[in-house]
Homo-oligomer: A and B are copies of this chain.
């Protein structure tokens, strides 16, 4: 019982740290937004991420964890991911937002299938309110229509984002036995980590198509 609770707290703490890192990276990248509507859209995304953060923070506390400690504990791996995938342009930032939002949604969706119902409900609720990064799709498609030569470098960028995300997720999971057990040793659908990452890669391909980068 206390082990399960401990694993729950760790998993929620991991999700919380990821949410916080995503939020702060939006804060950093907001400086690239070229127009007032873009700046407004980014500020709305930041607010949406913080709403998820608050929901997850409540779960960390309920599972006996400390939200601030959780953010601090996992900050490095998320910061590392963002550091190696720092966009060099507003378009790269938009692609990263959409792809990153989608990867997070996938991660939650896989969790929701495999996890105890308490976690499942929170995951569904947190992801139920996303979709605000859809604006990125419109902006990227418009840019590609105006200049098709952007397609090839942005497609490469998208592939790099997936590769780095999977590498960094694996680092996190390798260090957290309790979370690994929770994800892959239960009676859920996540038989292996390989299945988990294959599913994420398949949906990433769909998102690249959404952006016009297939």
Give me the interface of A with B, judged by CB distance under 8 Å: 20, 23-24, 27-28, 30-31, 36-37, 39-40, 43-44, 46-47, 50-51, 53-54, 67-68, 71-72, 75
Could you tell me if A51 and B47 are in contact, using CB atoms closer than 8 angstroms? yes
What would 16 more interface pairs be, CB under 8 Å, given A20-B39, A24-B30? A20-B43, A27-B30, A27-B43, A27-B46, A28-B31, A36-B68, A36-B71, A36-B72, A36-B75, A40-B71, A43-B46, A46-B50, A47-B47, A47-B50, A47-B51, A47-B54
Q: Are A50 and B39 in contact (CB under 8 A)?
A: no
Measured CB to CB, the closest approach of chain B to A1, in angstroms, equals 29
Q: How far is the CA of A122 from the CA of B51 in the complex (A)?
A: 22
Q: CA of A71 to CA of B54 in the docked complex: distance in angstroms?
A: 28
In the docked arrangement, what's the CA distance between A23 and B27, Å? Answer: 11
Instruction: For the complex, give the distance between the alpha carbons of A30 and B104 in Å.
Output: 24
In the bound complex, residues from chain B placing their C-beta under 8 Å from that of A20 are 39-40, 43
The 6 closest A-B pairs by CB, nearest first: A47-B50, A36-B72, A47-B47, A27-B27, A37-B68, A36-B71
Across the interface, name the chain B residue whose C-beta is closest to A42: B27
Residue of B nearest to A67 (CB): B40
